[in-house]
Structure 1
Amino acid sequence: MKSLWNIKAFCMVVERKSFVIAARALGVSPSAVTRAVQALENELNTLLLARSSRQFSLTPAGELYFESARQILHIQDAADEELSRLRATPRGWLRLAAPQILSCRILPEVLTELTLHYPELRFDIRYSDTTLDPVQEQLDLVIRGAFPIDSELIGYPLWHYRRHLYASPGYLTRHGQPANPEALNEHVILMHTAPRILRAWNFVGNGREITLNMRASHRLDNGLALLAAVEAGLGIARLSDWLAEPLVAQGRLCRVCGEFRLVSARGEDPQMHAVAAQRRLPARTRLLIDTLIAHRPIRPN
């Protein structure tokens, strides 16, 4: 089996284009790096570097082996990182942002469970329905709903859900149940305006696909306020099934045009997801993601 130290020394020499600079980066003498590369060549019984008095170049075998060697080191680093995460006790501040609706659904229970098991954890939370950037806002994690946005951020799916239209029993008693989506223009429509206003609503169901440009009767900038307004009987709104269906079961809301669901322009259902700026997450951040997934809502029928 090839020595990882020898492989690391070889890769460092190639990347830094110098035995001396590679030795400095590794914190050893140039002669130690030279011996490591020679030992690797002996193990492989192959010349990797063609040396002259002042410079070197990769041999064809060296070029081929260099790519594999880098992959070996990457796998080893990833394994070491995972072991470190297992050994580390999550502690310290975790700064995150989440939609306002999670301030009273799921997240309070998750945070309570985590602090019971890891009392050294500290949470700094911003509840906002606007699209926040974890880099600009200096956040470890941002939880978002709807659809992931193409970016350089690393995404972590939490749970999928569907959107339907809902209203209170009182509203439907006063205004009646619309027979189909086209009849919605005769009703009071409540629209969530954060992070942006989506006037085009795409309906799928009953063997049909319908796109309607909706005109809002009232606008609200967060999901918590929208849910409260629908439950109070102000109008009809597009809501997440994981949030609204438990209220339907309690008789506090009713699904409107129940055979239809609302999707993206590409026909996709939304998902709750988290985004971070880095792929190798601290143990406390990874723990929060895993616990949120464990507490994800049961998908309604």
Structure 2
Amino acid sequence: MDNLSAMGIFVKVVNEGSFSAAARAASLTPSAVSKQVGRLEDRLGARLFNRTTRHLSLTEVGKGFYERCCQILVDVEEAEDAVANLHAAPRGTLKINVPVAFGRLWITGLIPEFMSLYPEIKLDLNLQDRFVDLLSEGYDLAVRIGDLEDSSLIARKLAANRRVVCASPEYLKKHGAPKHPKDLENHDCLIYASRAFRNDWRFEGPDGAELVHVSGAVETNNPEVIMDLTCKNMGISLLPLWLVGPAIRQAHMVEVLPDYHVPDSAIYAIYPPGRHLSPKVRVFVDFMVEKFNLPENHFI
């Protein structure tokens, strides 16, 4: 027998408590089990068991070897399972949660290509901005934007979440363009209500870190509404580039305070931890990583 088989028999003897019990569990004869353990000891040049007619116990060397063998056997099993999963055809229902605006603008357009690549996957795509509990609500995966809370979930970065301060050309023509973040205190700012510290906008620039408390007549929990009102000359907004990029490209909005940087966060695919990543989750995450592996300004 090879080394791994001999290790497996040795571990089984320890777990079962005797050579005869291990032989029954392995469908071998007690003498065959004894011979394999004896050969293992000969190869190692060390005694693994203290044997008496009524009792079997591990030696100090045996205890250390047992712990190493257990880990080796687990690693081998996981490696074999991982390879099997790589070759398994991704199939089954893939339940995903995605923020509404990001899903509508950047995920749904990729679905036809993904489904053509993996026809045995059935996609259950939920667009909602509510924070969902993946484990209790049965989601395989979610896309989340911003800083992640500490958790046991696995996170894989898809793209940077660059945020920019924007206004319409007409608004700037009428009210003037701010030159410094503190100038925003004298402007009508559109507030995204779902953002933590929604009235406090943070900047980094030539003078270091800046914290500006902004205010305005309109506050909403929908970023697309903020973008629409910005385009309609209602004020200045702080929004992610993935949302406002097309409007900037079409000159409906312009970036203001270009010398000041709003601290970036990121866009992640998150999924529950497990011994192995299921093929359907793995291929979706890999597909999305490939699609978003573009220059930082690719959202414009």
Above 0.5 in TM-score?
yes
CA deviation profile, 1:7-64 (whole Å, cap 9, x unmatched): 34444555x57459x9599775694766655554344333334345555444332333
Taking the TM superposition and a 5 Å limit, the aligned residue runs for 1:1-301 are: 2-11=2-11, 16=15, 18=17, 28=27, 31=30, 37-53=37-53, 56-194=56-194, 196-215=196-215, 217-263=217-263, 269-279=264-274, 280-296=276-292, 297-300=294-297
The 8 Å contact of residues 155 and 271 in structure 2, kept in 1 or not, is answered as yes
> Would the alpha carbon gap of residues 288 and 179 (structure 1) be closer, same or farther in structure 2, given more than 3 Å must change?
same
User: What is the alpha-carbon distance in structure 1 between the residues aligned to residue 100 and residue 250 of structure 2?
Assistant: 22
The verdict on how the C-alpha distance between 1:299 and 1:45 changes in structure 2, with shifts beyond 3 A counting, is: same
Change (3 A) 1:61 1:177: same
Q: Size of the alignment, in residue pairs? A: 295
**How far apart in 1 are the matches of 2:235 and 2:52?**
81
Contact map agreement 1:129 1:195 (CA 8 A) in 2: no
Which shifted more, 176-185 or 101-110? Answer: 101-110
Distance 1:235 1:69 in 2: 66
Deviates more, 1:252-261 or 1:31-40: 31-40
- State the one-letter code of the partner of 2:193: T
Amino acid at match of 1:171: Y
Equivalent residues of 1:168, 1:253 under 8 A apart: yes
Partner of 1:266: none
Residue identity opposite 1:294 in structure 2: E
- Structure 2 counterpart SS, 1:104: helix
Stretch deviating more after TM superposition (153-162 or 68-77): 68-77
Aligned-pair RMSD on alpha carbons? 3.2
Question: Bigger CA drift: 119-128 or 170-179?
Answer: 170-179
1:226-263 Cα offsets, whole Å, 9 max, x none, are 33333343332222234433432321221121111222
Aligned partners of 1:110 and 1:291 also within 8 Å: no
State whether residues 188 and 215 of structure 2, in contact with CA within 8 Å, keep that contact through their aligned partners in structure 1: no
Q: Which moved more, 1:86-95 or 1:46-55?
A: 46-55
Give CA-to-partner distance per residue, 1:53-92, whole Å, 9 cap, x none: 5554443323333343344234323322332222111111
Partner of 2:136, secondary structure, is coil
Structure 1: any 5+ residue segments left out of the alignment? 264-268
Indicate how the Cα distance of structure 1 residues 46 and 259 shifts in structure 2: closer, same or farther if over 3 A, else same.
Answer: same
With over 3 angstroms needed to count, the CA separation of the structure-2 counterparts of 1:47 and 1:237, relative to structure 1, is: farther
Distance change (3 Å), C-alpha of 1:179 and 1:282 = same
Deviates more, 1:22-31 or 1:180-189: 22-31
TM-score w.r.t. the length of structure 1 is: 0.83
2:219 & 2:35 partners in 1: Cα distance?
71
8 Å Cα contact 2:161/2:241 also seen in 1: yes
Deviations 1:114-158 (A, max 9, x none): 111111211112212233221122100111011121112222222
Higher CA-based Rg: 2
Contact 1:129 1:221 in 2 (8 A): no
Q: Structure 2: which 5+ runs fail to align?
A: none
Is the CA contact (8 Å cut-off) linking 2:187 and 2:236 kept in structure 1?
A: yes
In structure 2, the CA distance between the partners of 1:47 and 1:204, relative to structure 1 (3 Å rule), is: same
CA–CA separation in structure 2 for the residues paired with 1:30 and 1:227: 76
